[in-house]
Amino acid sequence: MASQDWFDKDFYKVLGVSKDITDAELKKTYRKLARTYHPDQAQGDATKEAKFKEISEAYSVLSDKEQREEYDQIRAMGAGNARFQSGAGGGFEDVFSRFGQGRGAPGGQQSADFDDLFAMFGQQGGGFGSGRFGQSTGGFRGNGGPHRGADVTARTTLDFQTAVRGETISLAGEDGKPFKVKIPAGVSDGQKIRLRGRGRRSPDGGESGDIVVSVSVRPHPVFTRDGLNLRVTVPVTFTEAALGATIEVPTLGGNPVKLRVAPGTPSGRVLRVKGRGVETSKGTGDLLAEVQVAVPSHLDDAARAALERFHELEPSENPRADLMAKARE
């Protein structure tokens, strides 16, 4: 959904890419950054976690063709100082919601284009007038036109699985009136859902305002989101990683699946389960299982003796030799 902060956020700079980057290069860059700043790697580092949210937001916009075009147009307007101040009962967000709805925004309607935006300024009397944006006092809607009804805001906090699967829930707006809202599958933390025409009525026959629902998503103890993919870290024993094994991996709200760990699998290798990620109207993601070799914290005498025997027989090459050589370059 287009929003006012698109003027101030340079998503290309966030990802460190040029504006003419291809989709394939964009995806490759995002995956590299996501691995670096993913919460599993951040280990409580608030700066890295914030960076991960920032790059995820940038990629979600730039990876969508229509949203990317929309973002580029809005940024171009910002470069030309075409900014607006929001007014009571509507304003900036109401204008840009016309662009975002229907282009990946949940609960959206058919979107308008920039002609619709600029048509608001010149109808019936021309000029901006002195009214606030969305309210006409001799301006956007013509001299003495009706006022738009005010928006009603609401907030909801969803568990992780509800956000992934989607659900229709009941909420109460700031005016205390209950209403139902369909949460689309794949809604993300911080996303806003706009219900057009469901807000307060106009006092003089104009269009009604909207209901704007801000969504927060509780973290899951096992799974995290990576776009439409779900990620899970799966511990394996040293012998499973060294000799190979078939292991069980949990899925979100479903039965476990079996995956084959190839002999010699290192920590950090990602195994993919097709089609077991987030399912939305835009497509379905995968389940990404990252293997982590678990080191035993306690060994009995027999296990220690066997491991010492293995140490005598294992290859003598230094696994850090390449690392040290590169560090000296």
> Tens digits of per-residue pLDDT, 9-51?
888 998 999 988 998 899 899 888 888 887 766 667 788 888 8
Instruction: Give dist(CA 18, CA 72) in Å, integer.
Output: 12
215 and 201 within one domain? yes
Determine the structural domain holding residue 272 and report its residue range: 224-298
251 and 200 within one domain? no
Is 231 inside any structural domain? yes
Instruction: Give dist(CA 306, CA 310) in Å, integer.
Output: 6
Domain count, the chain: 2
192 and 155 within one domain? yes
4 or 315: whose pLDDT is higher?
Answer: 315
If pLDDT is split at 50, 70 and 90, which confidence band does 145 have? Answer: low
Task: Encode pLDDT of 221-235 as tens digits.
Answer: 999 999 999 999 999
Task: Encode pLDDT of 245-293 as tens digits.
Answer: 999 999 998 899 999 999 999 999 999 999 999 999 889 999 999 999 9
CA angle 61, 28, 281 (to 5 degrees): 45
Instruction: Give dist(CA 210, CA 200) in Å, integer.
Output: 7
Q: What CATH number should be reported for the domain holding residue 254? A: 2.60.260.20
230 and 199 within one domain? no
Strands (E), the chain: 152-158, 167-172, 178-183, 192-195, 211-217, 224-226, 229-237, 245-251, 254-261, 270-273, 279-280, 283-284, 287-294
Nearest to 182 by CA among 209, 208, 156: 156
259 and 236 within one domain? yes
